[in-house]
Structure 1
């Protein structure tokens, strides 16, 4: 009898279990930042365009608690997944501001968003195909915007998952907006996750984790949520199993380093020139750090080996490249251009306190020997105390403003450059360059620690 009573007490239908669930819901309703889920968001490998939620979510949105008790599939190739909830245009139909339609002929590259409410015409519209242009339809005014169900519009971009209040129910939507989704407000929505879409077709690569993926597909390793994310912002990053890593070599957006598709790579010759020391400082401002050589060896796997970029020249902008054999330059987790385009600065440093022989060199780019010059080639080098390995006059304005380096500070670079051919690869490393070297073939890639534990 005791065993039966115990078993009954522990069934999911027991009143105690129901009370506990109710207490959870009450907590969610009154704790502004409350967010719980039974597992992680993940991609659907069969479609590669679908994101699948955990089977249970309990979340506070605008001060109220909402829950979902079943997995939700968000297929970003379908209208229903998006905050726009676009529908086919209808004649003589009353439209409100924010309504979104697509032509009766079917999806094109563009959506049309109502910016002036009214009733549509009886005539089929000749919608414009210039982004941002407007069209008068009856007394409705439409604005031309991108249709994100189309893969061409998704490639190389980040998207966000929002928990939204839909009456008394919880609705999940995907949006390109980083703050508030279309048709919702800050009080009726809450950003709980996101992901990045592949920038270019991978093609068929035997044994590669992303073989067959095409531009606009969700990168599985880029999926994040409030309980599984980076200390930095997550845009343009993938999870390598221990940290978040930038997908792209970083570019300068005018105020900070970013991992973005099509960005002009930041290097020693970019508009804002960089050396190893400056990458350290600027990454710290966005809560990132330079990758380590050991981490790189792991996350670069799947990349092209012993080849460099097609054309054997500086590509200038990030992502989507192929090597001299026509193979995509992408790792198994989705990191672009790991090998054979730019050497990449790492967090690995070493000191050379006493290089005294006349034929010992510490190369830095141009054969200069004076501390007043920008690059460093230190012949007959002895004991440096003028700051040349921690500062560069062409980048920092002086070699004597950030302290001295008693010994030559070198920083490891990895991966190989555009003309290095068979010397490039996931284990390629050079150890002879000063951290302050200014070189147009040296770039940077950021990494960030996890902000919250994986649940």
Structure 2
């Protein structure tokens, strides 16, 4: 089979110092049962005298798709962060990241039979970590990114101010016009951005001979900066001196003026930080913080950007593209893992189904035993087997008499003549019965023919029944009734079968002995009846899997025929569909109210009703649903279709739950999307009493700005129903979710649950808000699943966290619950969706990855998810 597989060729880029994931597909190829390995080789001449071939990574042949099936013809590989360091870069090589160069390694994927199915040239790029560089600050309004780690600062305030003034008054005015023109073009569309980056790279390339002496390859991004290279060079020297102790001087992002530096030491003159509220840099003059003109601050950062390595900017752009690809691959991996989890869950479900089958079989056996016991009890005057055998014989006799009646023409005298023979047969039959009784050795078989004791084995009663038949025959024989034709027929039959009747006994009556041996005693019957009653008391048997309820209209549902359940001591089955309405079946005096969770109750008389009270104990709660904020006649908006609206108008079809189909957490205010359940509403500050998802409550956030409120501390984490956190970081979001049996939402799943909103819109920018800071309904910002305020209202903390290798212990950021070993301001957690002021930034795929996990702001809230539970 390997001979039929073509060798693929590719050019790839691997970020040295970061995890790499790659995926390739071969058309019309089947790798079933195959394995593969990965080998890399450094091919630059500098490596010829060193070990340069390595077997690395993990190759997954035919990874599983989202349904758990092997993806034919695909191979996925993964290299760890440590393994990418085996890809070397020559120290003295120029233009390491030039479009035509930089391919210093080859990566091969080799099947288990030695067939090379992929040979890829590898462009090796140093990650920012390897280059000892770091993202410092992102200003979305001016699209400024400082890549170079600032590690020096002026030792005296007057030098800093002088340098700052030089930036503002001399350098920046000469470069800003050209930069702004380039920046404006950059924002037009993606292709123009790439072209501008290439133009900038060309301009920077013209200056390489001037700044190539320094390792940072500081190059100009504008032609005007080239014209002023002497000024830029002198400025670079001044800045390098200025930034010598920058980590003690630049304090990062703050909401308010800090009183001490990042190490907790007194502030030094010329210290600075970025104020998140005022959106500006501020400088410490020894007594208080100065706030320079915003434009001057922006120019200073732009000039610093101009002095940065433009080639690094190009690298960063490429890195961002590679990281996006890696994120996509990670998302694919998450989807694969989710599929595998779903497969495992399905296996568990199959096992649960088998357990249900076994339980059902046991229940059937119990029911059969109970039925047999009931039959035994109701037939206390009959032997369970012998009686049925002999009674059947008599019935056959009667049938034979009927069939032969027309052929019998004997008169009464003939019948009387035969009386003696019948009596002899009777005596023989009675003797046989007595013989059977005398030969039985089983201790619980009663040998008294006339016994009526129903607690003893049934064979004794059979003798009584037989005697009763004989007595009836005698009565007929002794009567003078001339209508004895039927009796004559019986006599004739007995004569014909006399030899057989004479030999009747336990041994020659089929099944009698085994039936007697298997007789169930009274204690076992009682035990089986008790088990059956226990099963019945828990009965809730749906006609099919999935949710029990079916949506009929925006205000009504139906319970399908076939539901079997027990309420109290009564068990019943629904024969026809049962329709319930919020208009006519709502418990009086309740009224239909938007944004309310409703519960469905069954009564013992086989009727049902709806209530918003989940604590009724007189009837049986069997499930419920959410009547949402989407109006019963609301038109479709955003990316929602009419079909989507039918499902979420009024009663939300995705919110249906019952005793065997529900979320693992409280079902209140939740909808099922795919294999998980999600909160309909943003987290509110009073979650202890409201739950995490409630309409009309106050949005929980890290500050009280714009009508928000700081959430209460859960009781599980030391709260008392009154105390708040005083902030709302990623840590607090995780704690609140855990207290309610829920979790944060992954970036990979968020675009799905948020789909349907009017993209690039926000509640304040587009004037949707009615009450600022309230959990309310905006049709344009509601997803196709009825999830409210899902984008453009509040950034929500996500589950994804990213960080790089540690460089120092960070103290004081975890509320005294341990330190963090990482670079400054990491790790960071993703936030999703966009806030009320974000406008075009907001949407179902909006995300930001720069906020460290201990950061708190009114911008950040939360929404939760949990697993699905379906019982057999």
TM-score range, shorter chain: 0.5 to 0.7
Give the alignment of 1:185-334 within 5 angstroms.
186=617, 188-201=618-631, 202-205=634-637, 207=641, 209-211=643-645, 217-253=650-686, 255=688, 257-269=691-703, 270-272=709-711, 273-309=727-763, 310-311=766-767, 315-322=772-779, 328-334=780-786
Report if aligned partners of 2:663, 2:866 keep a CA contact under 8 Å in 1.
yes
> What's the Cα RMSD here?
2.8
Residue 177 in 1 paired to residue 613 in 2? Answer: yes
**Equivalent residue, structure 1, for 2:557:** 51
**Equivalent residue, structure 1, for 2:586:** 82
Give the alignment of 1:299-378 within 5 angstroms.
299-309=753-763, 310-311=766-767, 315-322=772-779, 328-353=780-805
Distance in 1 of aligned mates of 2:768 and 2:783:
20
- Report the secondary structure of 1:319's partner residue: coil
Shift in Å, 1:192: 0.9
Report if aligned partners of 1:344, 1:444 keep a CA contact under 8 Å in 2.
yes
Report if aligned partners of 2:648, 2:785 keep a CA contact under 8 Å in 1.
no
Give the alignment of 1:60-71 within 5 angstroms.
60-71=566-577
Higher relative contact order (CA 8 A, sep 6+): 1
Q: Could you list the runs of 4 or more consecutive aligned residues of structure 1 that deviate by over 4 angstroms after TM superposition?
A: 25-29, 212-215
Distance in 2 of aligned mates of 1:72 and 1:26:
32
Shift in Å, 1:406: 1.1
TM-score, structure 1 normalization? 0.64
Cα distance per residue 1:288-320 (max 9 Å; x no partner): 111111121111111221111133889301121
Shift in Å, 1:63: 4.5
Distance in 1 of aligned mates of 2:660 and 2:578:
18
Q: Higher strand proportion, which one? A: 1
Shift in Å, 1:253: 1.9
Distance in 2 of aligned mates of 1:251 and 1:204:
27
With over 3 angstroms needed to count, the CA separation of the structure-2 counterparts of 1:70 and 1:195, relative to structure 1, is same
- Report the secondary structure of 2:561's partner residue: coil
Report if aligned partners of 2:794, 2:859 keep a CA contact under 8 Å in 1.
yes
With over 3 angstroms needed to count, the CA separation of the structure-2 counterparts of 1:178 and 1:28, relative to structure 1, is farther
- Report the secondary structure of 1:196's partner residue: strand
**Equivalent residue, structure 2, for 1:91:** none
Report if aligned partners of 2:627, 2:651 keep a CA contact under 8 Å in 1.
yes
Q: Of the candidates 801, 809, 820, which is equivalent to residue 405 of structure 1?
A: 820
Q: Higher helix proportion, which one? A: 2
Distance in 1 of aligned mates of 2:870 and 2:735:
24
**Equivalent residue, structure 2, for 1:93:** none
**Equivalent residue, structure 1, for 2:417:** none
Report if aligned partners of 1:208, 1:302 keep a CA contact under 8 Å in 2.
no
Shift in Å, 1:55: 2.0
Distance in 1 of aligned mates of 2:608 and 2:620:
10
Shift in Å, 1:27: 7.4
Cα distance per residue 1:4-55 (max 9 Å; x no partner): xxxxxxxxxxxx9xx78x98x997852343321113333435x222111132
Distance in 1 of aligned mates of 2:562 and 2:850:
53
> Larger Rg: 1 or 2?
2
Distance in 1 of aligned mates of 2:572 and 2:531:
11
**Equivalent residue, structure 2, for 1:434:** 852
**Equivalent residue, structure 2, for 1:131:** none
Give the alignment of 1:116-135 within 5 angstroms.
none
- Report the secondary structure of 1:154's partner residue: coil
- Report the secondary structure of 1:51's partner residue: strand
Number of aligned residue pairs: 316
Q: Which runs of 5+ in 1 are unaligned?
A: 1-15, 85-144, 181-185, 323-327, 355-381, 392-398
Distance in 1 of aligned mates of 2:534 and 2:860:
51
Cα distance per residue 1:232-265 (max 9 Å; x no partner): 1100000011111000001122636520001101
Q: Of the candidates 779, 783, 808, which is equivalent to residue 383 of structure 1?
A: 808
With over 3 angstroms needed to count, the CA separation of the structure-2 counterparts of 1:65 and 1:387, relative to structure 1, is farther
Residue 42 in 1 paired to residue 460 in 2? Answer: no
Q: Which runs of 5+ in 2 are unaligned?
A: 1-363, 372-528, 704-708, 712-726
**Equivalent residue, structure 2, for 1:30:** 534
Residue 163 in 1 paired to residue 668 in 2? Answer: no
Cα distance per residue 1:81-121 (max 9 Å; x no partner): 2233xxxxxxxxxxxxxxxxxxxxxxxxxxxxxxxxxxxxx
Distance in 2 of aligned mates of 1:295 and 1:213:
21
